[in-house]
Amino acid sequence: MKLALAATMALIGCLVGFNSANAQGVATKSTPTTKILAIGTINPGFEQSQVFAVLPEEVRETVGLYLDGKIEQWYSLQGKPGVAFIINVTDPAVAHEMLEKLPLGKAHMMSFELIPIGPLNPLRFLQGMQPKP
C-alpha cells in the first residue's frame, strides 16, 4: 500500500511539474532521453484534397519507418487531424530530419512538435531508490 501511494505521489509530482527533490534540496539525477514524442499537425493553408493526394505515399513511407524500427508507435490525435509518433531516437534534430523527409514534410504540409521523453524521474524517490548520502 505504501509503495502504491509513493508511486502515485511521484506520478502526480511529475504531472504537475513539482520536483520534490529540488524542494527538499536534494540533487536529482537527470532523466535520459530515450525516445522522441512527435506530434504532427497539418499546416494552415492546405486543403484536405491536397493532403489526401499525398497521403498514400505518406502512409507507405511511414509504414517503412515503422518496419525499420524507427517509429515505435503511432496514434491519431483526438479532436483534430494529426498524428502522434513515439520515435526510437534520442536527438530531436535526428527526428526532425527523418520526419521532414516524409512526403507531407517535403511538401511543407505538416509540422511536428518534438518532445524528448524518458523514464519517469520522480519514481527515483520511491523507498529504496533515493541516492545514498
For the chain, the domains span 2-28+120-125, 35-117
**Average predicted confidence (pLDDT) for the chain:** 84
Average pLDDT of the segment spanning 39-64: 96
The CATH architecture of the domain made up of 35-117 is: 2-Layer Sandwich (3.30)
Instruction: Cell 518496419: give the residue.
Output: 67
pLDDT at 112: 98
- Which of these ranges, 14-23, 30-39, 83-92, 111-120, has the smallest mean pLDDT? 14-23
C-alpha cell at 31: 532523466
Average pLDDT of the segment spanning 14-18: 52
For 128, residues 6+ apart whose C-beta sits below 8 A from its C-beta are: none
60, amino acid identity: R
Does the pLDDT at position 43 exceed 90?
A: yes
Burial class (CB in 10 A: 0-12, 13-18, 19+), 131: exposed
Q: What is the pLDDT of residues 63-79, one digit of tens each?
A: 999 999 999 999 999 99
pLDDT at 77: 94
